Structure 1
């Protein structure tokens, strides 16, 4: 396990996962019990499996594992950014210290309370086993961190490409609308230029940037205002917001969903239709529904591009809010609905 001592300082949370979560603790307990069973089988075999040794060793290993997890969980919150070498060294020393204290306590209990004959070689053996397992564990953390950073780098590249791309037809149509309004309605032309500049400014911000739901909605309304100038009465939008506007959302997440709804459901239709947007929070989970009419003659043509945009949004949500973030779609004969949901600390509906 080769570490670069000149690596820039990183946050402890990057290397050490959150071991205080229930799922992490469950896997730690199961792994510890599996390790105990392997050790007992190696020393006594199946026929002479010692349940006394199994109980004693399970008690010791579980306490070492749980205390080490609790210590690392606390360490990741308290440490300032350090180099990878420093973080690894401190984590390794902490695991060894917890193991030594538990070994010493267990040795005292065995020798002076239970009158068993265990010597210091037992502590040395435990420290060697702990050193090997600790090194393997930290190497696993390192590999997981590298995978996360690599995935994050790829995601940021994809998101940056998505954010920096504005459909040419939208840009050209917007410029033509502005040009036609300069003499007929200068105020509307000026407002359209301001709205377009806000969209460009947002698309140039750093990939993965979070913003408030209020700011994202305002950005979407600026986009809709421009499309309204082009589509006129063919486009109507129904907003239903039933949650806190301070909830966080990745920048330019809702806007491309609405853009898809207009591009696939409203623009191809001679009579247009209504885009319905509903946002609510249930049990600390944010739900966003965007619904548009189904235009059957262009559905197959635009299906691939629509799916690419949805995949990008899914990856962005999961990168920020975990793998339980979801982007689902539902289509009936008349409506196509996109449902975004992810865990958020926002007030729930009463």
Structure 2
């Protein structure tokens, strides 16, 4: 039997309502969402600034277009450099982090401004001081806005942790599993031990750290254990089809992102159906993306309505981990089945 460890529900609840600190990995710069927000912020600030000296709408649009020829590629270059140096920046004190981001912004602005100045196409001042200072200030503003955004997200992360605990610790599942194990003790002691081991692993994962990433492969293994327990309860009524791509196993997922989706499929697709149904779990890697889907048949009659907390929690934690790089969809397919689809970077 596996050691259940010292983690308790009360410890996990206390951790869930305690906001974590901004660690080295907390401020993510290597994301498409960061680039989009940086581009938008730079253009807005430049546009507002140029309004003060514009002689009219046409003049303002012309000056903004000229400034954008430097600002947009400079912003892209700054994000790339900040992403490459993110681990070094994260080790420094907060003021040093802002100073480093500003210095990279100045370098990015000058790298784009100098070639244009050499052929007399640079917008604005003919001196390097102006683009360097502008790049430094905009970089500091973007960097600090990402920090503020991350701090604003921490309460949402804590709420998602609490929602997870509420949805994943299901008394009826625990009682059903224990009753199954008690029945098997006399008939098949070895199988009863395996059931309790699977249950122990599931609860260890449920009460573990929710702020540490896991992998698709680990989530698949945990889901196999969960379905092995449910298979004993439903027997032939539960048909599980696995279609897995080994190349997708290393992609990062929040802990227990897959098992709640499969549990929903069991509760709403298999349990209410007299003849049971089928659950299909599929993973695929497509270039730099990993696709995961959980599909279940739908009972013909009315099923017990759910609150959608489990699906909402998984969606929120995917967004917290992968930002705009994560894609989450759910709904009925053309053939009347229910499917949850996840797309994430590999």
TM-score by shorter chain over 0.5:
yes
Q: Note the alpha carbon deviations across 1:14-42, whole angstroms, 9 max, x for none.
A: 2867699875686478558736853551x
Aligned match of 1:277: 281
Choose the corresponding residue for 2:102, options 76, 92, 98.
Answer: 92
* Alpha-carbon distance, 1:339 to partner: 2.6
Counterpart mapping for 1:36-55 below 5 A: 38=51, 40-41=53-54, 45-46=55-56
Preserved contact between residue 298 and residue 338 of structure 2 (Cα < 8 Å):
no
Task: Indicate the structure whose relative CO is greater, using CA pairs within 8 Å and at least 6 residues apart.
Answer: 2
Matched, 1:266 2:267: no
Aligned match of 1:340: 341
Q: Note the alpha carbon deviations across 1:203-259, whole angstroms, 9 max, x for none.
A: 122114332322211111111111111112221211112452523232211111111
Distance 1:24 1:205, change over 3 A: same
Q: Secondary structure at the match of 2:98?
A: helix
* Alpha-carbon distance, 1:344 to partner: 2.4
* Alpha-carbon distance, 1:161 to partner: 4.2
Distance 1:211 1:235, change over 3 A: same
* Alpha-carbon distance, 1:323 to partner: 2.5
* Alpha-carbon distance, 1:100 to partner: 8.2
Distance 1:242 1:47 in 2: 55
Counterpart mapping for 1:249-260 below 5 A: 249-260=253-264
> Cα RMSD between the aligned structures?
4.3
Choose the corresponding residue for 2:153, options 151, 154, 159.
Answer: 151
Counterpart mapping for 1:92-171 below 5 A: 92-93=102-103, 95=105, 127=130, 134-135=136-137, 138-159=140-161, 161-163=163-165, 165-171=168-174
Q: Note the alpha carbon deviations across 1:109-135, whole angstroms, 9 max, x for none.
A: 88xxxxxxxxxx9859x65x9757854
* Alpha-carbon distance, 1:82 to partner: 1.1
* Alpha-carbon distance, 1:260 to partner: 0.8
Preserved contact between residue 327 and residue 342 of structure 2 (Cα < 8 Å):
yes
How many positions carry a matched residue from both structures? 318
* Alpha-carbon distance, 1:86 to partner: 1.2
Preserved contact between residue 101 and residue 139 of structure 2 (Cα < 8 Å):
no
* Alpha-carbon distance, 1:85 to partner: 1.1
Distance 1:91 1:213, change over 3 A: closer
Distance 2:293 2:74 in 1: 44
Distance 2:258 2:236 in 1: 22
Structure 1: state its 5+ residue gaps.
1-7, 111-120, 346-350
Greater mean deviation of Cα atoms: 142-151 or 260-269: 142-151
* Alpha-carbon distance, 1:291 to partner: 2.2
Q: Secondary structure at the match of 2:324?
A: coil
